[in-house]
Chains A and B, each alone.
Chain A
Amino acid sequence: MSEAATRQPLAEGAAPGTGTGRRPNMPLVLAGIGAALVCAVLLSVFVGTERVAPDRVSAVLIGTGDREAHVLVWEYRVPRTLVAVAVGAALGAAGALIQAYTRNPLADPGILGVNAGAALGVSLAVWAGASASVTALVWPALAGACLATVAVLLLASTGRGPATPVRMTLAGVALAAVLGGLATGMRLIDPQTFERYRSWAAGSVAGRSPSDLAEVAPYLLIGLVAAVALVRSLNAVALGEDVASSLGVSPRRTRLLTILAVTMLVGAATAVAGPIGFLGLMVPHACRLLVGNDQTRVIPLSILMAPVVLLLADTVARVIVPLREVPVGIVTAFIGAPVLIWLVRDRKVNTQ
């Protein structure tokens, strides 16, 4: 498959000048994002609610340093940073996948109701008596995410013509409303469920341990590998199902793998960190602005860039209100919703 054929702009979401016209320098972009990731990781380790002087933190990192700083860095900040990197990569990949597959620039696991599906799964599990630990919640979250992904894709593809962004978005809103209503009903019947649920529901990477991460790592890895393996198929499917078939790509297989990957990524990330919205919406757009519409570039770049955004958001969440952490999901919503509004206002989205 030639490069020129795969660089076909997506039906929607392609701003003029970002697609075929400019040749982005991929190694340069990669190096830039990589450097940003390193900076964000360092920032996340050095900045926190508890003010620890930078030299104490660096002393801990090179193996010396006092015990308080040691505990603070290795037991709180480093695990949290790792969780943020993993969750960010998963959500960025899921957003890029779902936008590429649906050719819908507004697609996002949060907007399409996949998060709500995972949340319903978690509510059901907590209500049925499961503890609020990641181990107990990962399967319900996966099941709920899978159900919601399939349902929203089915809903959007009923009727005539391809699923337009409006149709998909509204299908997601409706689905999220139904699932959210059920989950809320369950929580309000039982105050204990409510108590355990409310800390999870805002979306946070704080207080997660490395073992929580290890619990979901297999699913995240499967999802990320599937996402990277899908890039060429998604490029082909972007040209239309007939062209894809003639290029030897099975649209059916692509669809199944996409659903599988999105389910794994969103379900696992949600089980660890709760529903974090808008990350999967923003990051692929930023990547497309940088490197055009070629999925072989957008998806890997999204996987790298989303952790940067999530880490920065999490660092802001720690310091924005003095002595009180804000869950990172709130920060991402506050960055992401304006991006969504800007996308619609700037006519980057073809409404028809």
Chain B
Amino acid sequence: MSALIRTEPGSLVLRASAGVSGRVHTRTILGCAVMLLLTGAVTVLALMLGSVRYSPAEVLQALFSDAPGTAELFVVQWRLPRAVAAVVFGAALGAAGAIFQSLTRNPLGSPDIIGFTAGASAGGVAVVALVGSGYAVVAGGALLGGFVVAVLVMLLSRGGGAGGFRLIIVGLGLSAMLASLESWFILTADLDIAQVAAVWGVGSLNGIGFEHSGPALVLSLLALAGSGLLGRRLGLLDLGDDLSAGLGVPPSGTRVAGVAAGVVLVALVTAATGPIAFVALAAPHVGRWIARSAGASLGPAALAGALILASADLLAQHAVPGHSLPVGVVTVAVGGLYLITLLIRENRKGTL
């Protein structure tokens, strides 16, 4: 099989003999490369900083060759799981956000706004407060809660039109109900359990280790790869249901697959870390902005998600000296600010 790569002004065209071809804009490639480099830099920084500081050379030595035992302990066993988790989970959230925004045709249609995250969070907190905090049970509770709420929101907002306004308000209402339920679970539980549930309910990467997060990481990577296959179909859906059907891709099939992929991605992450807010909202926007790509563009969204979550976690660990905050606190505050600027920008355009 021979492949041919041709350059055209502003884009690369790839042709393989098996009838496969594609066109990628140079700006997209450059943007993705930049995000990848930045994510790498943030990750190395996350491995360097902490109660014991290492130079980049020491970090690389600890990672790739034999290093003195202590550096290996700090870098590989303590800091690496968290850094890897931030990157992988961020990518999963970013991709999930892109899928949901593409399905709802709404730049605000992220899992946070439509109530999925709140459902997963309430499910998880209920399990932590009432049953126990093992990964499998919490994951089950989060998955169930998130899925039920996602279905409810979709059903209740049916017929709301393309604007998706109803979707947002319905999601908001259900989120408020679930948040109040969650606060009751926290209230009734013992203080220790309540605090575990509360930290989980904010979304945290604290104390994450490969033995706990390993399955979630592997499954997230698999789900990411799976949803990568959806990218082209989502792109067709962006053109409209009729055109998509006319080109031989039934839109209903794309929708079902998209919802399934998005739900699985968010639920995997939420079960491992708790609901991390607003990454799924912001990452697709940032990805589209940096890569100048149009439509769903899962790749840039996933890269942007990884960059955002890795940076937010770095900030959460070191912003307040002596305290390692849950990363969800940072993403909710920064993401809320981002939503505000987004609103101001949309207001200026008069589109809302």
Which residues of A approach B to under 8 Å, CB–CB?
106, 110-111, 155, 158-161, 164, 166-167, 169-171, 173-182, 184-185, 187-189, 191, 194-195, 198-199, 201-203, 277-278, 324, 326-327, 329-330, 333-334, 336-338, 340-341, 344-345, 349, 351
Contact = CB atoms under 8 A, between A and B. Distances in A.
B278 interface: yes
A338 B180 CA distance: 14
B14 to A, nearest CB: 40
Given A177-B339, A188-B199, A344 B180 contact: no
Given A337-B177, A341-B169, A198 B194 contact: yes
A160 B165 CA distance: 19
A201 to B, nearest CB: 6
B5 interface: no
Contacts of A337: 173-174, 176-177
Given A177-B278, A188-B325, A341-B156, A166 B177 contact: no
B186 interface: yes
B194 to A, nearest CB: 7
Interface of chain A, helix or strand or loop or mixed? Answer: helix
Contacts of A182: 333
Contacts, number: 165
Interface stretch (B39-47, B83-91, B255-263, B342-350): B342-350
Given A161-B350, A333-B176, A155 B340 contact: yes
Interface string B155-190: 011001101011011101110110111011011100
A340 B169 contact: yes
A177 B173 contact: no
B186 A167 contact: no
B169 A178 contact: no
A158 B166 contact: no
Contacts of A326: 184
A188 B332 contact: no
A179 B176 CA distance: 16
A173 B339 contact: yes
A202 B180 contact: yes
Interface in B187-207: 187-188, 191, 194-195, 198-199, 202
B180 A173 contact: no
26 contacts: A111-B176, A155-B340, A158-B347, A159-B347, A164-B352, A166-B165, A169-B168, A170-B339, A173-B172, A177-B332, A177-B339, A178-B332, A179-B336, A181-B328, A181-B331, A185-B320, A198-B186, A198-B187, A199-B187, A201-B187, A202-B187, A337-B174, A337-B177, A340-B169, A340-B172, A341-B169
A181 B319 CA distance: 14
A13 B127 CA distance: 40
